[in-house]
Chains A and B, each alone.
Chain A
Amino acid sequence: MNLADEAALTRRLHQELDLAEVGPVPADAVFRRSRVAARRRLAGIAAAALALAAAAGLLAVRSGAGHGGPPGPHTIGPRHGSHASGVFASGSLDGHRWRLAVANLADPGWCLPGVVLNSANGDLLQPGFIPNFALGNVGFLEPTPGNPGPGWAFVRLRPGVHDVAAIMPGGGRLPLRVVTVAACGQRFRLAGFGYPRAVLRITARSAQGKPTGYAPPPDLFNPASNLQDGQWFNIEGATIPGASGIVGAGRIRGVAWQLRVTLGPDGECFDVEIPPGSRSASICGTIAEPPRVATLMPVPYGYGPRRMLIWYPGVVNPRTSYAIARLCGGATRRLVPVIIGGRTYLALGTDRRATLVKLTLYDSHGRALGSASAVTPLGGC
């Protein structure tokens, strides 16, 4: 090509680019990324405010408070014996045993079926199937954000769907065993697997013998992509019915707040609203089975100059009738849990001068169910 003629360059660029094949727009991946980015921005603001407060000596932050990011979930006390009976896949990756199982993520008497990896990292299961899609809901978990490494996936299958396999980069084919497990009065046909780096495609044959499959977005396995966020990535089009409700509300030194929990495709998200109705700080995690005592996710938020507010929302033992929180300085607060989506939540809001020191849970007879002291990383005096 002679590029002396700029028109030739124009023609050649159009030849190359206009004919390049482009797949359909991955709308759900875009919406998910936008949600992740928004939450990270909010969490970043909160973490920056926390760092400022700590640097100024305003807040006692213990070691292990994270690496600049927002604090993660903190489980207090031993968990329920969680030998899930609904195991549908297991194996070993990088020398570590793993298993995927169906578990009830709600309290006894309620139902919220989900898939758990090693009894943690829950992902809600869709009650039905996506129209015109043989595979049902598909989930991928990349548990180490920013770090290439193993991941896990599961797929739910319609009746009769068979010959299921995962196609790995390089063309390797991993046949998958389909297992039927029951939970919450429903039966789920599931296949699961772990993978060292990435998955190209999941293939299967429908009940009528027609080939079908699902190709996950390639950037799900790109460590630079913000799709790798330690949360389950559910198939595009999946609409898990989410539960949402207010866990607590109140005022801290005149500032009105409320805290909302949402269970859905992003996992379990706690949104602090200041003022009520507008989201100000947020944190999401995978969904854990109900704990024996409490699983708290501290949410810090810088409010105005030199002002640090902290919330301690979380899931508590389903038998909890009320809880007593002892704060730095000796003050106590009585907290009453609420049930949302079949899970028992409570939330404490405080400021940096009155961080949580000890939380004790009581049943309806006033008997202590358990307590936890030194609620790291944002507790203690």
Chain B
Amino acid sequence: MNGQDRAEFTEFMTGRWPGLVRLAYALTGDRWLAEDLAQAALASACNSWRRVRRADDPDAYVRRILINAAHRRFREQRRLPAARGKAEPEVADLAQAAETRSDLLAALAALPHRQRAVIVLRYWADLSDAQVAELLGCSEGTVRSQAWRALAKLRVSPALTAPAEPRPGGDSGGAR
């Protein structure tokens, strides 16, 4: 990567970092993991920067990397307790993350990965069904059906049936 590419990528990275971390946070409910995934996605984009830059939608390219990475981590974490003999720190971290995440994020975390991604991309990232379908590599019909199923689960989620409390200042339970 030459100096000009590096400067361009740094500008791109600086602008996208908050959005990518928040997207990853919504997908994982874990701040540490969110920053790690955002870093990994940007590092991957850095290695393919010339291709990313030429893409029609560089943002979609990086989001796709992040969503795929989150999905892989999701599958790995399900395997983690069995695969490792010493999982105590990870368990402690997850418990702490669960304490600090909001009821909404806790309800999202209970959804299957793809449904969670559909909800976050549709209702937070304000993407169209077509854009969500392209990001997730599925049809628009699948996006709509996944959204419908996810909404049905959220409606009956015990964490979300109580009236919402205003949360001034946001969640301050981050790792940094």
Residues of A within 8 A of B (CB): 1, 3-4, 6, 9-10, 12-27, 29-31, 33-34, 36-38, 148, 197, 215, 217-219, 222, 224-226
Contacts and interface: CB of A to CB of B under 8 A. Distances in A.
Given A26-B39, A27-B13, A219-B35, A16 B104 contact: yes
Contact of B160 (A1, A30, A38): A1
Contacts of A222: 32, 36
A226 B41 CA distance: 12
A12 B104 contact: yes
A16 B167 contact: yes
B42 to A, nearest CB: 5
Contact of B42 (A12, A19, A30, A215): A30
B64 interface: no
A222 B174 CA distance: 16
B44 A34 contact: yes
Interface stretch (B53-61, B116-124, B131-139): B116-124
Given A1-B163, A9-B119, A20 B39 contact: no
A23 B25 CA distance: 13
Given A17-B25, A22-B22, A197-B89, A27 B10 contact: yes
Contacts of B13: 25, 27, 30
A4 B164 contact: no
Interface in B101-144: 102, 104-105, 119-120, 123-124, 126
Contacts of A12: 104, 164
A29 to B, nearest CB: 6
Contacts of B73: 224
Nearest to A225: B36
Given A3-B155, A12-B164, A25-B13, 13 more contacts: A6-B151, A16-B105, A16-B167, A16-B171, A17-B22, A17-B124, A18-B170, A20-B170, A21-B170, A22-B17, A34-B47, A219-B32, A224-B76
Interface of B is mostly: helix
Given A27-B10, A148-B86, A13 B164 contact: no
Given A16-B105, A25-B14, A37-B43, A9 B21 contact: no
The residue among B39, B120, B171, B172 with the most chain A CB atoms within 10 A of its own CB is B39
B3 interface: no
B32 A19 contact: no
B47 A38 contact: yes
A371 to B, nearest CB: 41
B102 A16 contact: yes
A326 to B, nearest CB: 40
A218 B14 CA distance: 19
A13 B47 contact: no
18 contacts: A1-B162, A3-B151, A3-B154, A9-B123, A12-B104, A16-B171, A20-B21, A20-B22, A20-B171, A21-B170, A23-B35, A25-B14, A31-B6, A33-B39, A33-B43, A34-B42, A36-B43, A219-B35
A115 B17 CA distance: 33
Nearest to B49: A34
Contacts of B155: 3-4
B103 to A, nearest CB: 8
A215 B123 contact: no
B40 A33 contact: yes
B81 interface: no
A60 to B, nearest CB: 34
Contacts of A27: 10, 13-14
Contacts of B86: 148
Contacts of B89: 148, 197
A36 B47 CA distance: 10
A20 B25 contact: yes
B26 interface: yes
Interface in B55-107: 73, 76, 86, 89, 102, 104-105
A148 B22 CA distance: 27
Nearest to A220: B36
